Amino acid sequence: MSTKPRIVLLHGTPVAVEPINRSFAARWPEAELVNLLDDSLSVDRAKDHDLTPRMFERFMELGGYANRIGAKAILVTCSAFGPAIERMTRELPVPVLKPNEAMFRAAMTAGKKIGMLATFQPSVLTMTEEFEQFVRETGSKATLKTIVVEGAMDALRKGDASVHNDLVAKRAPELADCDAIMLAHFSTSRALEKVSAVVSIPVLTAPDSAVDRLKAITAG
């Protein structure tokens, strides 16, 4: 039997799979990864302003399956499902990690004025709520300014990462007066190099931070 810690990655869109697997390969190759992809999650999420009761049920069903196959921890890689992830955290017996908590922590060490580049509008509300909740819990004075980059997600879903990266980087200078910029989604981390080239402030991504957090959680 393998002694590697099994980490289940729950994806709501295929464009999140490659970035987090790349981060694991670089930062924690000893982990045994299981990728669970239901790309209808993001499709259905975009249809409703709020999370539906059925969406909560679907996450519990997926989380229950992950637990049954021996997950040491679960990471949800899509940022549009915060309340459903919180329910998983409360009800499952294994650690469940939101995609962006570790990135939020890193951003707040950089300063109080934080910018965020997002490409999936439905995720912005839940991410903003999570950020504000984290600010309250930590006693921080940080504020968040978000820009939604139109067309970038569509380009990525069509397989054109270069156009996606260019579109994201084009909007980055609008946040140059911030102390740090967060690339909102796992899929957006592809634009790190191009965004970093057009601003002089720290640019943060979720995958590397999440991997480091998961490693610490399972070790502890």
pLDDT digits (tens, 9 = 90+) for 115-125: 999 998 888 98
SS3 annotation, 27-41: HCCCCEEEEEECCHH
The phi, psi pair for 9, rounded to 5°, reads -105, 120
pTM: 0.81
Domain boundaries, the chain: 6-99+208-219, 101-205
Residue 220: pLDDT band (50, 70, 90) is: low
> Considering the domain 101-205, what is its CATH architecture?
3-Layer(aba) Sandwich (3.40)
Residue 85: pLDDT band (50, 70, 90) is: very high
> Considering the domain 6-99+208-219, what is its CATH architecture?
3-Layer(aba) Sandwich (3.40)
SS3 147: strand
Q: At what angle do helices 17-27 and 206-219 cross, to 10 degrees?
A: 50
Other Cβ atoms less than 10 A from the Cβ of 129: the count is 12
Q: Are the C-beta atoms of residues 16 and 42 closer than 8 Å to each other?
A: no
Longest dimension (CA), the chain: 52
Cα R_g (the chain), whole angstroms? 17
Assigned token pair, 99: 């995609």
Q: Are the C-beta atoms of residues 51 and 78 closer than 8 Å to each other?
A: no
Residue 167: pLDDT band (50, 70, 90) is: very high
On the question of a common fold for 6-99+208-219 and 101-205, the answer reads: yes
Give percent of the chain above pLDDT 70.
99
